[in-house]
Structure 1
Amino acid sequence: MAILITGGARSGKSRFAEQYAARLGSRGIYIATCQPYDEEMKERIRQHMRDRDASGFRWETKEEPLETAALLRKLAMQFTEERREAQAGGRPWTAPPVLLDCLTLWLTNWLLQLEEGKQAGSDPLGEQTGAFIEAVRSYPYPLLLVTNEVGDGIVPEYPLGRRFRDEAGRLNQQLAGICEKVFLVTAGIPVELKSIAFRWDEL
């Protein structure tokens, strides 16, 4: 069960995602994609961790700025084994929700890698996004994905910025297509989009 949560900067989307996850289990896995390039970003990360600790919900943080698809596959295998062991022992078991925050930072990390020429291949970014989308599609347990709406503002001045905007928009569309629910958070107010989406068969 994958859920996509999108919104603008400081819209409240991460807080909503954390609150949603806390209602799905007694503990959670937090996949952080941010890479701290400077002291200001390091302090943001520390504040986010303090906020999560203060919530009372038990998070296990896994920092993975690039190989998120592989991490999702690893977690799926781990939880499947835990479920089998619990069933064999007659014990109750609930998969901990996984929260990935955020997709646009993950995309930024890959774009910077490719810009520096560290990755080879005919379409390495397409390969990475394709692998990630397939990992989300096949993940059998609760999964919350936080992303950003980046196309509502001005057109970026530089080619890399314009590519980022386009790639983020395409990634969001593809994930929205396979996620069970899609929330848009604005000014701290979440709205579930799929339940109110226009459908061609209603025309």
Structure 2
Amino acid sequence: MVDPVRSEFILGGQRSGKSRRAETLARQWLDKSPEHRAVMVATGQAWDDEMRERIASHQADRAVRVPGMVTVEETLALADALKQDSDPNTLIVVDCLTLWLTNLMMPADPAQAFPEAAVTAAGEDLCTVIAAAPGPLVLVGNEIGLGVIPMGREVRAFVDALGRLNQRVATACDRVTLMAAGLPLTLKDRT
């Protein structure tokens, strides 16, 4: 496993090993110095029983794999959460950008959906924070643009927005890793 860098974007499909890689990087960071901290910024929301169970399972597993990692839940104001917790001795893991974008574009109450311009601005703010962060960042997101074109207008808009967000975040990060079957493929490494 490679050491954490200033910023890494980890992409992949479901169950590709994205979160496990992020947790491994956080564990390595914590093991390097007693002064190091690790913070998980969780963006998922528990809309139903299955999601509540999934979140609880992730929390329990993470507590075993990365003891000492603090979890902060932030579903909308991601850039602000990163600014608040970023510090040279703190590695922040964001899991995940896809759920964050879902929260902006497809909330439980459609009347609360962010307009396209606000979604774009939120992505730009996030990239500005990534570039200026004083401590290491590990961002996790889904690569969903490899399949067929979605049938519904709203889903196509989401896939397009996620593709644009992924491209902007990849540009802002020093390292970009694609995960497949638990194996990392480095797409970009400016270290």
TM range (shorter): 0.7 to 0.9
Moved more, 160-169 or 106-115: 106-115
Answering whether residue 30 of structure 2 is matched by residue 20 of structure 1, we say no
Matched, 1:9 2:32: no
Q: Shift of the alpha carbon at 1:194?
A: 1.3
Match of 2:69 in 1: 59
Query: 2 CA distance for matches of 1:120 and 1:12?
Result: 30
Looking at structure 2, the residues matched to 151 and 120 of structure 1 have their Cα atoms a distance apart, in angstroms, of: 22
Contact 2:7 2:175 in 1 (8 A): yes
**Following the alignment from structure 2 to structure 1, what is the Cα–Cα distance between the partners of residues 187 and 150?**
27
Give the whole-Å Cα distance in 2 for the aligned partners of 1:102 and 1:120.
18
Aligned pairs, number:
180
Aligned residues: percent identity? 37
- C-alpha separation between the residues in 1 aligned to 2:175 and 2:70? 24
Q: CA deviation at 1:105?
A: 0.4
- TM (norm. structure 2) is 0.87
Partner residue of 1:107? 101
Structure 2 SS opposite 1:42: helix
Instruction: Give structure 1 stretches of 5+ with no counterpart.
Output: 80-93, 197-203
CA offset at residue 116 of structure 1? 2.2
The Cα RMSD (Å) is 2.0
- Kept in 2: contact 1:25–1:95 (CA 8 A): no
Rounded to whole Å, the distance in 1 between the matches of 2:183 and 2:112 is 40
In the alignment, structure 2 segments of 5+ residues that lack a partner are 1-5, 32-36
Give SS of 2:39's match: strand
When normalised by structure 1's length, the TM-score is 0.82
Structure 2 residue 80 is matched with structure 1 residue 70? yes
| Structure-2 separation of matches of 1:111 and 1:121 | 8
Larger Rg computed on CA atoms: 1
- Determine the structure 1 residue equivalent to 2:90: 96
